[in-house]
Amino acid sequence: MRKTPIDPDIVVRKIAESGLKSVGNASIREIVKLVSQIEQASGEKFIRMEMGVPGLDCPEIGVNAEIEALKKGVASQYPNMEGLPELKQETSRFIKNFVNIDIKPLGCIPTVGSMQGSMAAIMVANKCNPKKNKTLFIDPGFPVQKLQCKVFGVGIETFDVYNFRGSKLREKLESYFSKGDISSVIYSNPNNPSWVCFTEDELKIIGELATKYDVIIIEDLAYFGMDFRLQIGKPGVAPFQPSVANYTKNYILLISSSKVFSYAGQRLGMIAISDNLFSREFPELEPFFSSSDFGHAIIFGALYALSAGTSHSAQYALAAMFKAASDGKFLFTEGVKPYGKRAEIMKKLFLDNGFYLVYDKDDGKPLADGFYFTINYPGYTGIQLLEELLYYGIGSIALSITGSKREGLRACVSQFHPEQASLLKERLEIFRENHPI
Amino acid sequence: MRKTPIDPDIVVRKIAESGLKSVGNASIREIVKLVSQIEQASGEKFIRMEMGVPGLDCPEIGVNAEIEALKKGVASQYPNMEGLPELKQETSRFIKNFVNIDIKPLGCIPTVGSMQGSMAAIMVANKCNPKKNKTLFIDPGFPVQKLQCKVFGVGIETFDVYNFRGSKLREKLESYFSKGDISSVIYSNPNNPSWVCFTEDELKIIGELATKYDVIIIEDLAYFGMDFRLQIGKPGVAPFQPSVANYTKNYILLISSSKVFSYAGQRLGMIAISDNLFSREFPELEPFFSSSDFGHAIIFGALYALSAGTSHSAQYALAAMFKAASDGKFLFTEGVKPYGKRAEIMKKLFLDNGFYLVYDKDDGKPLADGFYFTINYPGYTGIQLLEELLYYGIGSIALSITGSKREGLRACVSQFHPEQASLLKERLEIFRENHPI
């Protein structure tokens, strides 16, 4: 009988108890729950790579501003639907300083995490024109954004970007856009889960086609500034966070505080709508959102219906962090560089033990070490590998749930601590012994 | 020329600038914005009755627990989708102590305000059975819940409860339920805007019919314990908050922290699902929410897609307030009794000046003095009166936007301070002079 680091009886039992039809196809949160239950039953700590959670402390600047706001009594007052004026102002300034794009404070609106931002964007973008009722995902991507389309009854198109990098992207996008039913495009950049980053040429292609076909680009900047090959983070100084906003007026940026500010717990993101799109009129919006004005429909239609605003005190936290970053007093990208180091260590251990990288290049250049990387093992599908690694005390998610057409797993580095390196090494060596290539 | 407390040129100009087609039909948040702009331009403070916001300070118990949680660093950690274990536990205990109903902690889930709770309930309840795709509103009601149905594409039925009190309610409800397309019913109790409270007989009728026709009752307890004719608020001791939960297993309770705990700013409510409904299987849910289990679909389908949880620190605040209430250390209903006093003063001033109450009785008994009351003036529609009162420095909303079939206005007492009584008196007297009955 093969030896595994986790008692196989416990793994089998907990999988059965989970009621999941297929562990490999489970959602991220379901895997998180399963891994926690196996940890508890076995008494063994896992190498947890399944969930993209911050693994660093949150900045004191944010926490202190939030505590101060609470002491002033903001908890009793509904936040205004458009957002706290200073947060709107500081978001606009942050975007100018670190993306080099002008967006008026009016179009910068707080949301309950970027999750709510994408929900609102999907809801409104797909009602602007009755012929355009589908969102195209440049995959792989964050599975919950597809769940959002599903629960809201929006059609989905998707392709895996791996085989359509560089100039091939134009033809591929045009094949969808030319059908006339695509309202919007979603992608994250840097990409979750593959950590692929679009080149400027690719962003230009996306922007040009968005203008040509009047499609709204929902650019998810969940990992703002975290392509560590660039040195983003000096206010007003290049390099800036790359963005499609340089190439079209049809865009919405989603800026999360969860990863780059390690502020996931308070569920606060910003949706930033281009000035042009914010004030555009779409008569078809009126019956759904009581307004034909895009910005008004987002705020007083979608966001009002979804939750009537977001935590009042957390808005002060984010305003303070944006302000400190713009003032040059808070080097936010420096704070998350430990993730790059963790990725380097982890990737090496996997590669040393027979695994290989699934997404490995940006149009020819090696990917950065960042928040995620993707791996597989010869002879395995991602779904099989995910389940098998549970017996070795390693949690992950399958690329198949992210819209990837390639087999493998997403590994998130955030909860890995360098002192766990020897444990990971030991477990991967046993895995390799049990699975000779 | 008639004399009005606010310069009519300013009112006319600000209405024009608002771009609203009809001021009287505007949403609550739009009226709030308009009144603020007239206040700013005229330099005159309004008697603001348009928005149901807390007008009291938030309890220190909540604020202190939240600050402590922030100091411990919870801002960096995603809250778990099901909610903080101690909050789930204390919610279950609070419901037992003050509603006298048993709901397991499992079914008590935090939401971004009760607004998100009703959104999730509407989303899932209307997908359990493809034939049942409408929500029935026992009106008048909170307009945003109808907006939620609209943006989510759910059908709406509605009737004004005023003419169907007592035993008449049975026949009226049955006329809808027997058509077979009603999935769910929404009402608030005490009622926003009319402050009508259902009698036990009425709740029994609703519950019995919910069971008979397998309809889910979404009971919005936004004004928990605030029918001041009862003396609710001693843990484990009658009287309890009346609830349909005594009469059916098909229910979802929405418990808000905004009004009774004056904690509106942090956007935290609880959705509490009956044990029976929580674990019920509806195969039709699977394609939308990847699970056929009602509770699982609410948490990992709807709430995950909507925002992936709610402010981590605020969950500690609410847990602490619930705990203190259950321990008998926090007399939460005492804290909001000033609203009853304010209502008494305001109602008298309106009645003294020719106004009359629109909703005036609970099945024969006079309504309580509470958070809202409803008024009208002879010869006016609500929409006309709302606009006319802007010239007199008084903000309100029209009953017509709440699904009421009766003409008049909703007045919220929360932002009125007793020292404003002479100002309100003066303005109402001028109004009366200008509008002889």
Q: Write the DSSP assignment of A348-402 as a string of letters.
A: HHHHHTT-EESS-EETTEEPPP-SEEEEE-TT--HHHHHHHHHTTTEE-EEGGGG
In this predicted model, what pLDDT tens digit does every residue of A298-313 receive, in sequence order? 999 999 999 999 999 9
The answer to whether the Cβ–Cβ distance between A301 and B266 falls below 8 Å is no
In this predicted model, what pLDDT tens digit does every residue of A114-129 receive, in sequence order? 999 999 999 999 999 9
The answer to whether the Cβ–Cβ distance between B29 and A56 falls below 8 Å is no
Contact predicate B135/B149, CB 8 Å: yes
The answer to whether the Cβ–Cβ distance between B267 and A309 falls below 8 Å is yes
Q: Which of A57, A71, A148 sits opposite B73 (nearest CB)?
A: A57
* Average pLDDT over every residue of A373-392: 97
Contacts of A263 in chain B (CB under 8 A): 75-76
The answer to whether the Cβ–Cβ distance between A267 and B310 falls below 8 Å is yes
The answer to whether the Cβ–Cβ distance between A311 and B266 falls below 8 Å is yes
pTM of the predicted protein model: 0.94
The answer to whether the Cβ–Cβ distance between A123 and B151 falls below 8 Å is yes
pLDDT-based confidence at residue A168 (cuts at 50, 70, 90): very high
Q: Which of B67, B265, B305 sits opposite A119 (nearest CB)?
A: B305
**How far is the C-alpha of B360 from the C-alpha of B294, rounded, in Å?**
39
User: What pLDDT score does A1 carry?
Assistant: 57
User: What pLDDT score does A27 carry?
Assistant: 86
**How far is the C-alpha of B78 from the C-alpha of B222, rounded, in Å?**
27
A-chain residue closest to B147, CA distance: A305
Mean pLDDT (chain A, rounded): 95
pLDDT-based confidence at residue A53 (cuts at 50, 70, 90): confident
Tokens of A175: 């094949």
Q: Which of A29, A262, A308 sits opposite B113 (nearest CB)?
A: A308
User: What pLDDT score does B1 carry?
Assistant: 57
Q: Where are the beta strands (DSSP E) in B128-250?
A: 134-139, 155-160, 182-188, 216-221
Smallest CA–CA distance, residue A305 to chain B, in Å, is 5
**How far is the C-alpha of B307 from the C-alpha of B295, rounded, in Å?**
17
Smallest CA–CA distance, residue B143 to chain A, in Å, is 10
Smallest CA–CA distance, residue A133 to chain B, in Å, is 14
Q: CB pairs below 8 Å between A and B: how many?
A: 200
* Average pLDDT over every residue of A143-159: 94
Contact predicate A223/A261, CB 8 Å: no
In this predicted model, what pLDDT tens digit does every residue of A319-370 receive, in sequence order? 999 999 999 999 999 999 999 999 999 999 999 999 999 999 988 889 999 9
Contacts of B148 in chain A (CB under 8 A): 305
Residue whose token pair is 């000046």:
B353
Which DSSP category does A178 fall into? T
The answer to whether the Cβ–Cβ distance between B151 and A264 falls below 8 Å is no
In this predicted model, what pLDDT tens digit does every residue of B277-294 receive, in sequence order? 999 999 999 999 888 999
The answer to whether the Cβ–Cβ distance between B265 and A312 falls below 8 Å is yes
- A251-256 and A269-273 strand pairing: antiparallel
The answer to whether the Cβ–Cβ distance between A306 and B307 falls below 8 Å is yes
Q: Which of A263, A302, A313 sits opposite B76 (nearest CB)?
A: A263
The answer to whether the Cβ–Cβ distance between A76 and B151 falls below 8 Å is no
User: What pLDDT score does A2 carry?
Assistant: 75
Contacts of B71 in chain A (CB under 8 A): 63, 67
User: What pLDDT score does A364 carry?
Assistant: 86
Contacts of A332 in chain B (CB under 8 A): none
The answer to whether the Cβ–Cβ distance between B76 and A70 falls below 8 Å is no
DSSP string spanning B330-383?
A: --HHHHTTHHHHHHHHHHHHHHHTT-EESS-EETTEEPPP-SEEEEE-TT--HH
Q: Which of A111, A147, A267 sits opposite B311 (nearest CB)?
A: A267
pLDDT beneath 70: ranges in chain B? 1
Best to test chain B binding among A21, A78, A126, A186 (most B CBs inside 10 Å)? A78
The answer to whether the Cβ–Cβ distance between A264 and B54 falls below 8 Å is no
The answer to whether the Cβ–Cβ distance between A78 and B115 falls below 8 Å is no
Contacts of A308 in chain B (CB under 8 A): 113, 115, 144, 267
Of B222, B113, B143, the C-alpha closest to B401 is: B143
Q: Which of A53, A66, A288 sits opposite B70 (nearest CB)?
A: A66
